[in-house]
Amino acid sequence: MNQSVAPPLAGALAAAVLLAACSKAPPAPEPVRSVRTMTVASGEAGGTHDFAAEVRPRTESRLGFRVAGKMVSRTAEAGQRVRAGQVLARLDVGDLRLGQEAAAAAAQAAVTQAELAAAEFQRFRELRAQGFISAWELERRETALKAARAQAEQARAQADVQRNQAAYAALTATADGVVIAVEAEPGAVLAAGAPVLRLAHDGPRDAVFSVPEDGVAAVRALLGRPGALQVRAWSATAVLPATVREVAAAADPATRTFLVKADLGSAAVQLGQTLSVSLALPRREGIARLPLTAVMQQQGRPAVWLLDPASMTVKVQPVSVAGADGNDVIVASGLSPGQVVVTAGVHVLTPGQKVKLYRDSGTAPAPAASR
């Protein structure tokens, strides 16, 4: 009887051993992570924002010929100061002069035809007075005289246009200023209006710079306020006042920033000079400053890890970020003074995880409220 029971019992024991070998081992306990922390304190933010700016002319013109042709000479170079009316470049005027002569000849022919029509009308009026022709014939001759005179006026106007076209072969400066760029060389065949030179007009100068989207509202609030910006040349220490006169209505499609132009008045600055523009930031009270390492993204929103000193566990706390100041993040809401925030080690934490405070070797344990 014992021998008949032994084989089934042995098989059951073997199956139990195999099932135990195939089952998964219990997960290892999660390690206690070391973190750095700091205690939230209520503070204020302000100061200034600095932007790199460039000196540009208030008025800048792209000069080009008003007629098409081949450019044969250019007397102006980049950086050269020019006067209004000074010839800067010339086109080949051969074809333009031929057109002018043809138009003048056509105008003379039209004038001759008008004079002939006037003489004929005078003779037909005398014949009408004698009763040799009808009134209808005299009206027809009068209409022909008016048409001839109109054609003469048209031909004279066309001759004036051709004379102007020939004069347009010389490109002249429209105002006193400085040539800041050359865009065409002698020998080039140019279409009418193609830019040849860029001329910076003498007069007011602007400091031109770009601001990000979060700062454009503050700049718009300064529009028209004299001396609202502080400008300093990189090569000098003197501070110049500037007035915001224009803020772009739309962001640049490539940089997503807004272009700002500030009037420098009569400041002694050079075109293309680099400036530093300081924008005073409004004072904000009741904010918290955290290092950049303390803030993370949780479901598309900024958040931080809060430490419960009693249980030494962490939890996620969403926050509202109002900007940055150097290496610190300005937190506008979501935190209260006295709360303990994890500032290092945030990338390895999970909600409810137990942690311990990090301390350098050879130093005493730091309290939970220290960074």
Task: Report yes or no on 107 lying in a domain.
Answer: yes
One domain, residues 274 and 292: no
Task: Report yes or no on 227 lying in a domain.
Answer: yes
pLDDT of residue 148: 93
Task: Report yes or no on 112 lying in a domain.
Answer: yes
Q: What is the CATH number of the domain that holds 246?
A: 2.40.30.170
One domain, residues 133 and 115: yes
Please give the Cα distance from 369 to 24 (Å, whole number).
41
Of the candidates 280, 308, 329, which is a domain's last residue? 280
pTM for the structure as a whole = 0.57
One domain, residues 350 and 288: yes
Please give the Cα distance from 368 to 36 (Å, whole number).
8
Task: Report yes or no on 175 lying in a domain.
Answer: no
Task: Report yes or no on 77 lying in a domain.
Answer: no
Of the candidates 280, 304, 338, which is a domain's last residue? 280
One domain, residues 242 and 217: yes
What DSSP string describes 16-27? Answer: HHHHHHHSPPPP
One domain, residues 272 and 292: no
Helix 135-167 to helix 94-130 angle, to the nearest 10 degrees? 160
Q: 340 and 309 in contact (C-beta within 8 Å)?
A: yes
Task: Report yes or no on 76 lying in a domain.
Answer: no
Q: 211 and 219 in contact (C-beta within 8 Å)?
A: yes
Please give the Cα distance from 233 to 239 (Å, whole number).
8
- What are phi and psi for residue 33, nearest 5 degrees? -80, 150
pLDDT of residue 20: 53
Into how many domains does the chain fold? 3
pLDDT of residue 326: 67
Q: What is the CATH number of the domain that holds 343?
A: 2.40.420.20
pLDDT in tens, the chain (371 residues): 444 445 555 566 666 555 555 556 566 666 777 888 888 887 665 557 788 899 999 889 999 999 999 999 999 999 899 999 999 999 999 888 999 899 999 999 999 999 999 999 999 999 988 888 889 988 998 999 999 999 999 999 999 999 998 999 999 999 999 999 999 999 999 999 999 999 999 888 999 999 988 788 888 988 888 888 888 887 777 788 889 999 999 999 988 899 999 998 877 888 888 888 887 766 666 678 888 888 888 888 888 888 888 888 888 888 888 766 667 778 878 888 888 888 887 787 888 888 888 776 554 444 444 33
One domain, residues 301 and 352: yes
Domain enclosing residue 130, as ranges: 94-167
Parallel, antiparallel, or unpaired for β 229-233 and 239-247? antiparallel
Task: Report yes or no on 248 lying in a domain.
Answer: yes
Tokens describing residue 67: 């007629």
Of the candidates 280, 303, 319, which is a domain's last residue? 280
Q: What is the CATH number of the domain that holds 129?
A: 1.10.287
Task: Report yes or no on 19 lying in a domain.
Answer: no
One domain, residues 273 and 252: yes
One domain, residues 259 and 293: no
One domain, residues 260 and 305: no
One domain, residues 212 and 275: yes
One domain, residues 318 and 339: yes
pLDDT of residue 241: 87
One domain, residues 211 and 264: yes
Please give the Cα distance from 198 to 181 (Å, whole number).
5
